[in-house]
Amino acid sequence: MLPTWRGWALAAVALVLYFFANQTQVGWLYVLAAIAAGLWLAAWPVPRRMLRGLSVTRRLNGQNASDLELHVGDSVSIELELKNAARFPALQVRGLEICPLAPSADRTQNFFADAIPPRNTLALNYETTCARRGWFEFPPVQISTRAPFGFFSAHRESLAPTGVLVFPEYRELEQLTLFERMPTAEAARPRLGSGGEFVGVREYRPGDSRRHIHWRSTARAGRLVVKEFAEETQPGLTIALDLRASSVIGSDDATSLELAIKIAATLARYAQRHGLPVTLAANSRTWPAPPGPLSWWGMMNYLARVQGEGDESFADCLRGLHATQFVAALLALPDEAASAPLIELQRQGIGVLAVIIDPAPFLPVEWGDTHRAQDVAATLTAAGLSVRVIGDEADWEWTLEAEESGVIKVI
């Protein structure tokens, strides 16, 4: 608690009056100095006592934050309930609320309560929009008052623990050409694995099943020889996400990675509606993708928290993919090195969709290599892959739904 400029002025008046009273020995000056000093001292403990009984509770959309499912772009109503547990009113209470999930222009919320009756509550509301995905914890609410006379200002923090997870935005697709062209269950060019199609023999290695020993070849070679099989592709969709820090183009919440994450959520939603299990793959040691098929909540929980970090090769991530029926590769930045593994996946009979984020709209200045996205897309299209190039257009889901035309369009 600190004196305000008004409090310092009153203290100065009391001192001046006392100085002149002492010099002139005029009684009424002593009286005025005593009144000013007494008023200053009487006002000193009041603001602190007013704030001592105050507590703040926060609710989002009238619920506890743990019960909400919020997505980027959703509107949210935030209620602050100020409770005064003291036996006297809290007057002229000012507050500062920081809403971490709001747009930067609306992140700071100031409020004022003229009076909060004793042992009563006052509810304050404000509306905002979820501008960012991720896990957010609200900082303590800053409350202050200068009542009753404005001579002193008391400040304190009121803890209102609130944590909320904001999921990325997703959009509903009516169709997706990738899923319309059903690839065969076995890869057209088989890769080695433990599937059901016999493709050859090789020398026995420790750990091989003895049931797979090829006895005729073993007898001819004089050593153990085992059968080798093609790896069967599993029904489902694998979404491969490029998470290199260098792939994050843009500033604030408008980046190429944020758009790629929205597209990943949209594709996962479409696959879920069609009954296909979805797995994730990512080139990040900090944010390793969970193994195996994910539930809708598990998928969105990962996409809500993940960030672009590190410099792990996206091409190596694609080469290490477990065979699934479909693969959607989301390139937050055009990457020529990713073309070869994507083309190889296509040759193996896997349905491949390459979504390339055009970085040009996310740059504050003209990007030198404006045709890079188009060049990578042309290479992949020539190899027979489904390719989508998406910039910052508002209706990017239309680009995902578009029929194959062989024309590469960069927006």
CATH number where 307 lies: 3.40.50.410
Same domain? 251 vs 303: yes
Whether residue 202 is found in the same domain as residue 141: no
Any domain includes 156? yes
Please report, rounded to a whole number, the percentage of residues in the chain having pLDDT higher than 90: 57
pTM for the complete prediction?
0.77
Say yes or no to pLDDT of 410 above 50: no
- C-alpha to C-alpha distance for 206 and 210, rounded to whole angstroms: 10
Q: Mark whether 156 and 219 lie in a shared domain.
A: no
Q: What is the pLDDT of residue 252?
A: 74
| pLDDT of res. 192 | 44
- Structural domain including 196 reads 192-230
Task: Give 181's pLDDT tier (boundaries 50, 70, 90).
Answer: low
Would 410 be classed as within a structural domain?
Answer: no
Instruction: Using the predicted structure, report yes or no on whether residue 407 has a pLDDT greater than 50.
Output: no
User: Are residue 306 and residue 226 in the same domain, yes or no?
Assistant: no
* pLDDT at residue 139 in the model: 94
Q: What is the pLDDT of residue 406?
A: 45
For the chain, the residue count is: 411
**Judgement on whether residues 163 and 286 belong to the same structural domain of the protein:** no
For helices 296-305 and 256-273, give the axis angle rounded to 10 degrees. Answer: 180
Do residues 239 and 137 share a domain? no
pLDDT score recorded for residue 325: 84
Cβ within 8 Å of residue 24, ≥6 positions away: none
Residue whose tokens read 């960012």? 132
Residue 93 is predicted with a pLDDT of 94
| Rounded Cα distance, 232 and 34, in Å | 94
Residue 270 located in a structural domain: yes
Residue 190 has pLDDT above 50, yes or no: no
In this structure, is residue 409 part of a structural domain? no
Token reading at 121: 């509550």
Q: Looking at residues 5-23, what average pLDDT do you find?
A: 92
Average confidence score pLDDT of the chain: 85
Strand partners, 353: 328, 386
Which range is most confident: 54-63, 262-271, 341-350?
262-271
Regarding whether 87 and 210 lie in a shared domain, the answer is: no
| pLDDT at res. 65 | 75
Please give the average per-residue pLDDT across 101-115, as a whole number.
Answer: 92
| Confidence tier at 323 by pLDDT (50, 70, 90) | low
Residue 46 has pLDDT above 50, yes or no: yes
Same-domain check for residues 161 and 299:
no
Q: Would you list the DSSP string of 274-285?
A: TT--EEEEES-S
Same domain, 93 and 31: no
Work out the pLDDT band at 209, boundaries 50, 70, 90.
Answer: confident
Whichever domain contains 154, its CATH number is 2.60.40.10
User: Is residue 356 pLDDT above 90, yes or no?
Assistant: yes
Distances (CA, A) of 41 to 10, 16, 20, 51, 216: 11, 17, 21, 18, 105
Q: Are 141 and 100 in contact (CB under 8 A)?
A: no
Does the pLDDT of residue 405 top 60, yes or no? no
Based on the fold, state whether residues 24 and 108 are members of the same structural domain: no
Distance CA 143, CA 136 (A): 21
Q: Which two tokens stand for residue 173?
A: 């697709």
- d(C-alpha 389, C-alpha 370), whole Å: 13
Do 153 and 219 reside in the same domain of the chain?
no
Q: Is residue 408 part of a domain?
A: no
Residue 90 lies in a domain: yes
Task: DSSP letter for 105, please.
Answer: G
At 408 the pLDDT is 44
Separation CA 344–CA 132 (nearest Å): 36
Which pLDDT band holds residue 17 (cuts at 50, 70, 90)? very high
Question: What would the two tokens of residue 295 be?
Answer: 């539930």
Q: Does the structure show a pLDDT above 70 at 284?
A: yes
Structural domains counted in the chain:
4
Closest CA to 78 of 26, 27, 130: 130
Q: Is residue 92 part of a domain?
A: yes
Q: Could you tell me if residue 407 is inside a domain?
A: no
Please state, in angstroms and rounded to a whole number, the distance separating the CA atoms of residues 215 and 90: 91
Is there a single domain that holds both residue 279 and residue 214?
no
